[in-house]
Structure 1
Amino acid sequence: MAKNENETYDSYPRDGFDNPPIGPVGVHRGARSVGARMMPYIVVLIIAALVGALAWGLFSGELTKAFGGGSQTADQSQTVQSANTDSASKNTSSDSSDSKTSSSDGDAANQSSNTDDANSSNTDSSDSQSTQDEQNANDSQNSSDESDQSSAQSQPNKASAVRVVNATGIAGYAASKASVLTGAGYTSVTAANPTGAALPDTTVVWYQNETDKATAEDVAKTLGLTDVQQASGLDVPVVVVLRN
């Protein structure tokens, strides 16, 4: 049969191979939809979320509560809370008792301290009063001694030794003056002549110490003399030197 050069694809009868699928086939498939492309990621995210929730439930105990362990846990929690409440109550009672005991001990200690302070204050006051009394007694004694000493100094001692030296050249002059002193109550009067020691130019009454001053003044008054001087190196308390 002669080939008709005008024949085309449509000139032949159609069969199963003449109805291919629309679009690329095999490795040349067309682009998928957005939902088809995102589906694997969505599945992975869902699986990861489920695994994380399961792990969290196991570690936190929520999964056990969800499957019947919640009641036992609640009972345990209530028991622990009750035990804690009882312990707190006991501690509060113990603290209150300790506080009362401490307060009682503190009051007793304060009372004892106040008593000790009062006793110490009384003792100190007594000691201070005793010291003050002793000091007053000493002052009074010292004042009395000073008064006695002053009185003794102001009073002539007629038992003191008195020497009358005759430097006039008149025989018996010293003895006559000594007799005047003896008549005035002096018990230790002697008459003597000069011994070569330096003699004053005028009649004078010498005394050695301040305690002898009153005696020297009384001797001068008894003899009618006025010149009374303190001198050193005397061998008797009072020396009367008679001059012309």
Structure 2
Amino acid sequence: MLTELFGEFLGTAILILLGNGVVANVNLKNTIGNSSGWIVITTGWALAVFTAVFMTAGLSGAHLNPAVTIGLAAASQFAWIKVLPFILAQIAGAMFGALMVYLFYIDHFKITTAPGMKRACFCTAPAIANTKSNFFSEAIGTFVLVLGVLLITVPEFQLEGMNSTKVGLGSLGAMPVALVVFVIGLSLGGTTGYAINPARDLGPRIVHALLPLNAKDDNGWKYAWVPVMGPVAGCFLAAFTHMLIVYLLR
């Protein structure tokens, strides 16, 4: 279990380091990648998913996302007793990854005066604030992600020398999941910034609240529940759809 939790912590930290790192490279002042745009961000996030999953699949199955963990459990492919420890490890990893992004780009954070640009390096915000629409966006984006994960998930695999069975993507699932994240960003990311991962949004948002940033924006706590609960709703819908597909294919 400790190996699995370490895998979730490490994988989510790498995911956020690279994913939020590309946002920082695009948003912050005087970076080489400044203003390089949405295509760079979506590509960077997709490759961040690929890298993190590929590196840690052998440790924990590389969920790296509470919505994936809950979706697997709801589809009877993961033990519910492990869900909360996995989620806590994912949030802790996301916080550590966000801190690393801040330390890596600290000189650029210091000279960037636009508070919103800096907050975007940590968490998401809607392009147009509309709670119902924003919730729907996060739910549908996560539905696509988790259904994709469920359809390519390796049902079971054992790590040598361990008794617990881990269910997750496996390293061979890294590329297809990265491509799913890529198309979600390109097609569905324009409304909310496609958090589609409660740990990815909540952990870095907490770090943003704690860091001594100059010209600091508010932390968007009124919105913060949407990228948490929207993905949870989406993952349950994906689990139900997956079970329906399995039933129909019998």
TM-score of the aligned structures, taking structure 2 as reference length? 0.18
| Structure with a larger share of its residues in helix | 2
Instruction: Report the structure number with the largest CA radius of gyration.
Output: 1
Structure number with higher relative contact order (C-alpha < 8 Å, ≥ 6 residues apart):
2
| Structure with a larger share of its residues in strand | 1
TM-score of the aligned structures, taking structure 1 as reference length? 0.18
